[in-house]
Copies of this chain bind each other. A is one copy, B any other.
Amino acid sequence: MQSLTEEQRDLIERIGVLHDRMGIRPAAGRILGLLLVSPDPELTFDQIRLALDLSKSANSTALRYLQDVGSVEYRTRPGDRKRYFRKSFTDWEAGFVQRSRAYYGIRTLLAEALDQKGEGQEEFKASLERMIGFLTFLDETIETAYQQWQSTHQPPDGDATAGNAP
């Protein structure tokens, strides 16, 4: 594997940080970065390990996690015991939209809070209602938009694999 430029390494780190802040552990975030940026889109366990200076255990654990959540997959090659890991793109949109909408989980709880209230606090209840209305609106908008996207962008149904998020 040709070694990476300074710029590429930096980009990988920034992708790592971004995932970090979404609650994904650093090593996994960097692996995603590497697989996105690498000139070779299929890397072996050891190539990843060396490129990112990770221990075998950290690498193995992170890779397993990424496969579990569908962000990464691997292929094998005949007569070769190594695994070739790569970023998975399949079904990425669906997963993204789902996580995106999960963000609106608060709406349910706000609704509970609202109808658990009795008389009084009219202003407060109005604000709550407004929040709930807005969340509902956004949620519906996203759902509609997603369907629209799906219908206009048929997946290029090539060697589709299986996967999820960035």
Contact = CB atoms under 8 A, between A and B. Distances in A.
Interface string A97-129: 100100101100110110011101101101110
Interface residues of A, number: 53
B145 A141 contact: yes
B137 A41 contact: no
Q: Interface majority SS on A: helix, strand, loop or mixed?
A: helix
Number of copies: 2
Contacts of A135: 96
A116 to B, nearest CB: 7
Nearest to A166: B106
Nearest to A21: B23
Contact of A11 (B8, B112, B156): B112
Q: Specify which of A39, A110, A120 lies most central, judged by the most chain B CB atoms within 10 Å of its CB.
A: A39
A11 B134 CA distance: 21
15 contacts: A8-B116, A11-B109, A11-B113, A18-B105, A37-B113, A39-B121, A87-B124, A89-B130, A93-B134, A96-B134, A100-B103, A123-B158, A138-B145, A141-B141, A141-B145
